Structure 1
Amino acid sequence: MHGLKAWRAFILLSACAHLLPASSRVLYRPAAGNRPPQISIKGELVQADLEAFTAIAETARQEAVTFMASRGTSTPPPGMGFVNVALDSRGGNIWAAMSIGRIIRRYSFATRVEVGASCVSACVYLLAAGQGRYVGGRVGVHRPHLQNDGVTSARAEKAQYASINAQTRQYLEEMNLPTSLHVRMMQTPSDRVTWLSAQDLSTYGLTRMIPPSPRPAVP
């Protein structure tokens, strides 16, 4: 019964996908062969991405259970996650990022920044949420950007920044990452990017090494 529900949900999502522009930020690839389901998040993160991801995540989770059961196992194949979330984004809405991140962690999805991809700014909160994390591309951090509307007082802006500072620190603690990562973020001005080295990624706990996905065979 659950398999039927998941299949119906997948058909609905697939039908909706054809109505969306080609630049859709949240894309779904169902399980195929030895590959578990994958959700891709590309481009600038906006609030609508949270709604799209929430809808897709449950379908992916259900399909992953069926996928694992069909292989007679409850663990992902080597080099894979239960569901892989592929990231290629230069950031965006930090609140949407943290909300999506909590879904990723709740469902024990794995996060990946493949070779050639970048994960910058708010995207790092998605990467941090992965139960397993692989980075083959670039990861960059900086302080969250505050939009100055010309009306907000300096005092209100300071209070807003303090709130963001506290909530992002708490989020990274939820993900069991060291305070030093938050400090590094806050030390980098919002108009600059600090690119993290392989050693940085390891030190900050942003890589729990999962081998890269197998490349599809060339016909």
Structure 2
Amino acid sequence: MLQRIQIKSGPPVILLKGEFSQVDDPELLSREVAASGAKVITFDSNGGNVLAAMAYGRMIRSLGLSTFQLRTVQCASACTLAFVGGAIRQAEPGAIGVHQSSFSPESDLDGHAAVAAVQTMTAQIMTYLIEMGVDPKLLQLSLSVSTDDMRYLTASEMQTYNVTSGSAGDAPERLGTTANAVPPAVPSTTTQEVSPSTTEQKALAFVTAYHDAWSRENADAFAFMEKAYEETVEFYGKTTPKAAVIEEKRKFATRWPVRAYSVKPGSAQVVCSNTCKVDGVVDWYAKRDVGDRVSSGTAEFSLVWDQ
């Protein structure tokens, strides 16, 4: 449901309330913007249908709207995808919540169909986040939170993942009295970063940094790889010169210049003696340099690290 919120000066702000649904028509937003002259949209939504939320996000971007979110209302789950459609995005800490996507009980998917559907949805969400200029690692954070829980993002997390852009102080008159219109949202969950101290923690931190680097643009990715590998590498069971390893990875990166690799939360296992061996599972997404072809999946990895 779309509502107009009058503010002290300037055009009204649009409030989108309720869950996103398959039957939603984003064209209604286009007509509302044309009729009201609104430049900003805000949300009171706990999520809903992922595809519908992304459709609204694309409409928001095409209309050039800015998104703004107060903590006293919430934009959670699928709503986050609509929020990041904003050309300029501002939100108070704890106003944006994320968790795993899920299928409705009525979907009645068997095991194989469910796996395929999850992979397809993951690829679509990653493509959308990249399209909107958001770090696709936001999806990794979302996947680490169960469907019956919610992770509210801190200010630093929203900046790190590029969920927000611009200053919350630029918001239009603080959206008038919107803060009094609905009950408060759940307080935000804050996290404190801890520097790795043990060898095992350092090995896991390296593995995370490795996949983060491989998810960057090619120049940054290969700057990391050149420093990371020894001159001779055990590569897929064969002793291989570093130059050959880098060249193979360069060929892949040239064909698939947009990549997102993230270690599945809880999957990494590390054993250290003189060196550390890390085994785990990585979720990956890649997009071709031509034809907009995308590919995604899940793979096991094994990496030996010498600090």
Q: Quote the RMSD (CA, aligned, Å).
A: 2.3
Quote how far apart the aligned CAs of 1:86 are: 1.0
Tell me, in whole angstroms, the C-alpha distance in 2 between the residues paired with 1:100 and 1:150. 23
Residue-by-residue CA offset, 1:119-175 (whole Å, 9 max, x unaligned):
110000011110111112521101111224484210111111111111011110110
Matches within 5 A, 1:170-181: 170-181=127-138
Tell me, in whole angstroms, the C-alpha distance in 1 between the residues paired with 2:133 and 2:107. 37
Contact 1:173 1:179 in 2 (8 A): yes
Structure whose alpha-carbon radius of gyration is higher: 2
2:48 is matched with 92
Match 2:33 to one of 60, 65, 70: 60
Tell me, in whole angstroms, the C-alpha distance in 1 between the residues paired with 2:107 and 2:152. 31
Contact 1:114 1:212 in 2 (8 A): no
Percent identity at matched positions?
A: 27
Quote how far apart the aligned CAs of 1:187 are: 2.0
Tell me, in whole angstroms, the C-alpha distance in 1 between the residues paired with 2:98 and 2:158. 11
Gaps of 5+ in 1: 1-24, 65-81
1:39 equivalent in alignment to 2:14: yes
Matches within 5 A, 1:173-192: 173-192=130-149
1:26 is matched with 2
2:86 is matched with 130
2:158 is matched with 201
2:267 is matched with none
Q: Quick one: structure 1 residues 157 and 198, their matched pair in 2 at CA, closer, same or farther if it must change by over 3 Å?
A: same
1:112 equivalent in alignment to 2:68: yes
Instruction: Give the 3-state SS of the residue equivalent to 2:172 in structure 1.
Output: coil
Amino acid at match of 2:161: Y
Quote how far apart the aligned CAs of 1:62 are: 6.2
TM-score (norm 2): 0.52
Amino acid at match of 2:163: L
Contact 2:8 2:173 in 1 (8 A): no
Q: Quick one: structure 1 residues 108 and 162, their matched pair in 2 at CA, closer, same or farther if it must change by over 3 Å?
A: same
Contact 1:61 1:107 in 2 (8 A): no
Tell me, in whole angstroms, the C-alpha distance in 2 between the residues paired with 1:99 and 1:117. 22
Tell me, in whole angstroms, the C-alpha distance in 1 between the residues paired with 2:39 and 2:60. 9
Tell me, in whole angstroms, the C-alpha distance in 1 between the residues paired with 2:22 and 2:12. 23
Contact 2:20 2:53 in 1 (8 A): yes
1:22 is matched with none
Tell me, in whole angstroms, the C-alpha distance in 1 between the residues paired with 2:85 and 2:16. 14
Tell me, in whole angstroms, the C-alpha distance in 2 between the residues paired with 1:59 and 1:127. 17
Q: Quick one: structure 1 residues 172 and 148, their matched pair in 2 at CA, closer, same or farther if it must change by over 3 Å?
A: same
Q: Quick one: structure 1 residues 47 and 149, their matched pair in 2 at CA, closer, same or farther if it must change by over 3 Å?
A: closer
Quote how far apart the aligned CAs of 1:117 are: 1.0
Tell me, in whole angstroms, the C-alpha distance in 2 between the residues paired with 1:55 and 1:155. 37
Contact 1:110 1:131 in 2 (8 A): yes
2:305 is matched with none
Q: Quick one: structure 1 residues 58 and 151, their matched pair in 2 at CA, closer, same or farther if it must change by over 3 Å?
A: closer
1:157 equivalent in alignment to 2:114: yes
1:167 is matched with 124
Tell me, in whole angstroms, the C-alpha distance in 1 between the residues paired with 2:22 and 2:11. 27
Quote how far apart the aligned CAs of 1:97 are: 0.4
Instruction: Give the 3-state SS of the residue equivalent to 1:60 in structure 2.
Output: helix
Contact 1:142 1:189 in 2 (8 A): yes
2:173 is matched with 214
Aligned length: 173
Judging by fraction of residues, say which structure has more strand.
2
